[in-house]
Amino acid sequence: MKIGIAGGGAFGTALAAALALDGHDIQLWARHAEAASDMQNTRSNPKLPGVDLPQNISISGELEPLFICDTILLAIPAQTLPAFLTEHLAHLDGKNLVACCKGIDLKRMTGPASTIRDIVPGAVPAMLTGPSFAADIARGLPTALTLGCADDEMGAMLQTALSTTSLRIYRTTDTVGAELGGALKNVMAIASGIAIGAKLGESARAALITRGFPEMQRLALALGAQPETLSGLSGFGDLVLTCTSDQSRNYRYGLAIGTGSDFDQNTTVEGAATARAVRQLASELDIDMPICTVVADLTENKTDVATALNTLLSRPLKEE
Ligand SMILES: NC(=O)C1=CN([C@@H]2O[C@H](COP(=O)(O)OP(=O)(O)OC[C@H]3O[C@@H](n4cnc5c(N)ncnc54)[C@H](OP(=O)(O)O)[C@@H]3O)[C@@H](O)[C@H]2O)C=CC1
Ligand SMILES: O=C(CO)COP(=O)(O)O
């Protein structure tokens, strides 16, 4: 089976490399023709230094070869997904569309798989998520992921097709849980980075991770997720990874806020927009989401770290 991947960034390229090494022919699309042709010729991507791209990955800036594939992995930022789906609706109808991005769309307030279901109703929507840095996947390091697909037969087919000797994929029919775990942990990763950047200490970070997890569960369960999905790779697993590693861009963005340093605005930081979406959802659904709310306010300079900390610490005492 030829697998298509939309998105020539770190994650799309890493998935391409892992699947190609396992013997799949891969059609990778990058939106800028020049970047695509450089990747095709040099067999490398500057976003994944030191990784050689196998010859069975074909890289193009043209969309036609991508649209021939029955299964397409969507590894473009979550906020750009709706426009991509809408623009190419006719070509995506009937395909297996596997979202590989992590975020809540600010306009629709949905996670990536739900966005696919809403915009391309004739496609089979799925979600690939879990604790997995692109650099680790591309190097063939062992990684465990969750594939969420409401259609379990198709989910099983995708699970088999996308698993490799180093990528171990688990399966769930709870796409809502899978998409929200990955989206919400990015907000917590920003919060953790802020705590460490502002020198609040490791204990404060542990408190944020621990209190952040039920916050993620509250919103996800209210939106229809199953609790066990949040406790799995896509929720708890990815929360642990990104809140504790400076390989995470969301965490590094938090570090920059905490230290008051500049941060490269071109870096993909999904948690910033998602924090704003969560703040709005929390207000609409009347759900207590204190950590996400202060992260959203901090990303918009509506508060500062000292005030945000005071907001969290001065909340009424309660049972755990
Ligand atoms: N990196 C990682 O370790 C992991 C990332 N992810 C998720 O994967 C998704 C992509 O992240 P990642 O690849 O790392 O990010 P990168 O910043 O490395 O790459 C993003 C890619 O998306 C492209 N892109 C941006 N805007 C558009 C658009 N409007 N239409 C089409 N393509 C677009 C970029 O193109 P250009 O270069 O031309 O701007 C670039 O190729 C994110 O949701 C992230 O959370 C998930 C797990 C791990
Ligand atoms: O989602 C990731 C790892 O699972 C990557 O995290 P960042 O987007 O924060 O780099």
Q: How many CB atoms lie within 10 A of CB 286?
A: 7
Q: How far is the CA of 250 from the centre of ligand 2 (A)?
A: 7
DSSP state letter for 143: E
Residue 27 corresponds to which amino acid?
Answer: Q
- Which ligand has the minimum distance to the alpha carbon of residue 252? 2
The pLDDT score that the predictor gives to residue 2 is: 87
Q: Alpha helix (H) ranges present in 124-226?
A: 134-138, 152-162, 175-197, 202-222
**Helix (H) / strand (E) containing 15:** helix 10-21
SS3 144: strand
DSSP-assigned beta bridge partners for residue 60: 29
The pLDDT score that the predictor gives to residue 162 is: 98
In the chain, DSSP assigns E strands to 3-6, 26-29, 57-60, 71-74, 96-99, 124-129, 143-148, 167-172
- Which ligand has the minimum distance to the alpha carbon of residue 249? 2
- Which ligand has the minimum distance to the alpha carbon of residue 131? 2
Quick check: CB of 229 below 6 Å from ligand 2? no
User: Which residue among 146, 186, 190, 244 is best mutated to probe the pocket of ligand 2, counting the most ligand atoms within 8 A of its Cβ?
Assistant: 186
12 contacts 28 by C-beta, under 8 angstroms: yes
Q: Give the residue, by CA position, lying nearest to ligand 1 atom 43.
A: 101
Biggest CA pair distance of the chain: 60
d(CA 287, CA 242): 24
Among residues 47, 107, 185, 302, the one annotated as catalytic is: 185
Question: 107 catalytic, yes or no?
Answer: no
Q: How far is the CA of 45 from the centre of ligand 2 (A)?
A: 18
Q: How far is the CA of 125 from the centre of ligand 1 (A)?
A: 19
User: Which amino acids are annotated as binding site for NADPH, given as ranges?
Assistant: 11, 31-32, 102, 134, 249, 270
d(CA 96, CA 74): 10
| Per-residue model confidence as pLDDT tens for the chain (320 residues) | 789 999 999 999 999 999 999 999 999 999 999 999 999 999 999 999 999 999 999 999 999 999 999 999 999 999 999 999 999 999 999 999 999 999 999 999 999 999 999 999 999 999 999 999 999 999 999 999 999 999 999 999 999 999 999 999 999 999 999 999 999 999 999 999 999 999 999 999 999 999 999 999 999 999 999 999 999 999 999 999 999 999 999 999 999 999 999 999 999 999 999 999 999 999 999 999 999 999 999 999 999 999 999 999 999 999 98
The pLDDT score that the predictor gives to residue 192 is: 98
From residue 255, alpha-carbon distances to 124, 134, 220, 277 in Å are: 38, 20, 26, 21
SS3 56: coil
Torsion of CA 82, 87, 91, 95, to 10 degrees: 0
The pLDDT score that the predictor gives to residue 1 is: 75
CA atoms within 13 A on the CB side of 275: 24
User: Which residue among 5, 11, 37 is best mutated to probe the pocket of ligand 1, counting the most ligand atoms within 8 A of its Cβ?
Assistant: 11
User: Which amino acids are annotated as binding site for NAD(+), given as ranges?
Assistant: 7-12, 134, 249
Quick check: CB of 16 below 6 Å from ligand 2? no
| Complex ipTM value | 0.99
DSSP-assigned letters across all residues of 204-237 = HHHHHHHHHHHHHHHHHHHTT--HHHHTSIIIII
Q: How far is the CA of 314 from the centre of ligand 2 (A)?
A: 31
The pLDDT score that the predictor gives to residue 218 is: 98
Tokens read off for 318: 């309660």
The structural domains of the chain, ordered by start, are 2-173 (3.40.50.720), 186-314 (1.10.1040.10)
Which ligand 1 atom lies nearest to the CA of residue 103?
43
